[in-house]
Each structure stands twice: as C-alpha cells, then as structure tokens.
Amino acid sequence: MPSVAVVGASGYAGALAARLLWRHPGFELVAVTSRSDAGRRLDDLYPHHRVPLVLDVFDVDELGAVDAAVVAYPHGAAAEAVAELHERGIRVVDLSADFRLRDVATYAEWYRPHPAPALIEEAVYGLPELYRDRIRDAAIVANPGCFPTAAILALAPLARHLDDVVIDAKTGVSGAGRAATDKTHFVTVDENVTPYGVGRHRHMPEIDQELAALGARDVVAAFTAHLLPLDQGELVSCYVTLTEDVDAPALFEDRYAGEPFVELVARPPGVRDVRETNFCRIHVHPDERTGKVLVFAALDNLWKGTASQAVQNLNLMFGLDEDAGIA
C-alpha cells in the first residue's frame, strides 16, 4: 500500500486531506507536518477529524521512503517543499497555486517570481475531468483552486462557444483559511455578504488559462468572489453569452457522461447538496429572456474544491479506483 504524508496538515485543507487519507483503504498516512503546531496531535487541533497523529516539523529527509505527499503550504513556500520532495522522487499533489499556471510570467505577474520555474513543466493541472490521463503519470499535480474547479467544470462544455462570461462566485469562510483576522472574525462575517478581490483575484488567470486550453478564444471572464456566513461550500453562478446557437444541456450531458463526480441536475443546486462530498453539482439553464446560458455549479470548497480532489488525484496517480476513500 503506498505511503503518504501531508505536509502542512494544521490548516483546514491539509487537515481534511489527512482525515481522508487516514481512513483511505488504499493509502497509508504515515506522517503529518506543521510549521506552526509541531508537537501537537492533529486530533487535538481538529477533534472531529479523528486523526491520532502527532504533527512533526517538515524535514524531507525524515519522511523517509514515503511514496507521495500532499503539500498544503501557502504559495512560494509550497514550491520549495515540492522541489525538495520531487528531488527525492516523491510524487506530489500540491494544493497551492505554485504549479497551476503554466506561464511563468503570468505567475510572476499575479504572485511573485517563481521559486522553482524548472518544475512547472513537470506539473499537471489536477482537474481529473480535464486531465485524467496525464494525472495518472504525473510527478507533480497542481491541485486546482476551489473557484477554478467550480468555474471550469461549469464552463468546460461551452468553452469553444464562449463569447462573454460572467462568473459570480460565493464561498464560505473556510476558504479564507485558519488565520484569525478582521475578515474572518465571526462578527464581521455573520449576517453579512461582501464581495472581495474585485477586479483582481488570483483565481482569474487560472480560469482563463484553462478555458483557453479548452478552446475558448480570447475570453477574459469577469469574476467576483463573495464571502458568505457559512463555513464550507461554494457556488458559482455563470452567465454566458455564446458565439452561436448550441444545445447547451446536450453539451453538458455529452461532456460529463460517465464522470464519477459531476452531477447534472434539473434544479439549481444548493451547497448543502454536496456538503462534505467530492461532487460538483451543475444546473444548466438556457435563458430565453436574455439568450444567455446560465450555469450554476456547487461544491464543497474544502472537498472537491481542495482536499478530496487531492485524494481523487492521488487515486489516479497510484492506479486506485478513482472514488476510493471519497465515495
């Protein structure tokens, strides 16, 4: 059974990845690390995850003969850890943004100079619905951002026909991470909804990159994220003008036939429908009044948006059933 470590397991996403791998029938979780909480047990930090492992300081040499690692570090720090792991032949799923953008200049524009540019070519964008085959053999999988996961799944079947795209995204607070700030204070979020990253959100180039890779021509999607008073859950509401008349629902049916974790539904989904699952629920509405196609995609930002998608990727990388441990 392949052994796996979670590097950076004290954040929300890393901790959930650890939980899923701890119970996984096909992997052995052998180590969890944390820069801030080393020495504490993970089930002390997250009792309901029930992972009775002690958090260690990350030291690639001490990880030993681990087969794979999930890296849950902030961007920049992630690339450095990925490089160390990669050098020792350990296959990596990186939850950060460091290997998602294939163009190093774009990365530099939105983040900072890339700490390990040579590895970008090694990385596969970890959206199984787009890159399943390449993920199987990848040394480094760049797990997508939560918004891009929802947005790309919502738009992929229409990509070749896109003229104008508006993506209005809503997310729970866990997406903002575990850091205690004014923005994550209960009293700030409760009974509130606030747009953020207006005009400039780091998930934008990721969405545009993948839409282009799917055949969209010169599409720059308008995108706004909104913070909602809930912990987990994400909804993207897409308003699409097409270049030509197509049977949109049929395109979705075709594209997602047989996909294990994409569900097309007849009613607009709520995020509760997919809470704590790896599913993305999509509703397509050809809108007669406006001629647009409306697409709504719901997922759990910590699950399909991050940690369970990482496990889906690991399953592919190690030849397991794609839904092992996350069905």
Residues contacting 199, CB < 8 A, separation 6+ = none
Which one among 148, 157, 269, 325 touches a second copy, defined by CB under 8 A? Answer: 269
d(CA 319, CA 183): 41
Catalytic residue status for 280: no
Q: Which is nearer to a second copy, 224 or 243 (CB)?
A: 224
Q: Which is nearer to a second copy, 35 or 88 (CB)?
A: 35
Residues contacting 314, CB < 8 A, separation 6+ = 4, 21, 27, 68, 70, 93, 320
The window from 57-65, 105-113, 152-160, 267-275 that contacts a second copy (CB under 8 A) reads: 267-275
Which one among 237, 308, 312, 313 touches a second copy, defined by CB under 8 A? Answer: 237
Number of residues that bind a second copy (CB under 8 A): 67
d(CA 100, CA 252): 25
306 scored as a contact of a second copy (CB under 8 A):
no
89 three-class SS = coil
Query: Is 325 exposed, middle or buried, given 0-12, 13-18 or 19+ CB atoms closer than 10 A?
Result: buried
CB of 261 to a second copy, least distance (A): 11
Q: Which is nearer to a second copy, 131 or 303 (CB)?
A: 303
The window from 3-11, 97-105, 175-183, 248-256 that contacts a second copy (CB under 8 A) reads: 175-183
182 scored as a contact of a second copy (CB under 8 A):
yes
Amino acid at 175: G
26 scored as a contact of a second copy (CB under 8 A):
no
Instruction: Take residue 26 and report the two structure tokens written for it.
Output: 């096909």
Of the candidates 300, 309, 297, which has an alpha carbon nearest to the alpha carbon of residue 168?
297
Q: Which is nearer to a second copy, 257 or 289 (CB)?
A: 289
Which one among 174, 209, 308, 309 touches a second copy, defined by CB under 8 A? Answer: 174
Instruction: Take residue 125 and report the two structure tokens written for it.
Output: 């964008």
Q: Of residues 146, 167, 189, 320, which has the active-site annotation?
A: 146
Of the candidates 29, 1, 2, which has an alpha carbon nearest to the alpha carbon of residue 307?
29
88 scored as a contact of a second copy (CB under 8 A):
no
Report the 10 Å Cβ neighbour count for 116.
20
Between strands 293-299 and 280-286, the pairing is antiparallel
Q: Which is nearer to a second copy, 56 or 273 (CB)?
A: 273
Which one among 16, 173, 248, 320 touches a second copy, defined by CB under 8 A? Answer: 173
The window from 13-21, 81-89, 112-120, 172-180 that contacts a second copy (CB under 8 A) reads: 172-180
The residues that are catalytic are: 146
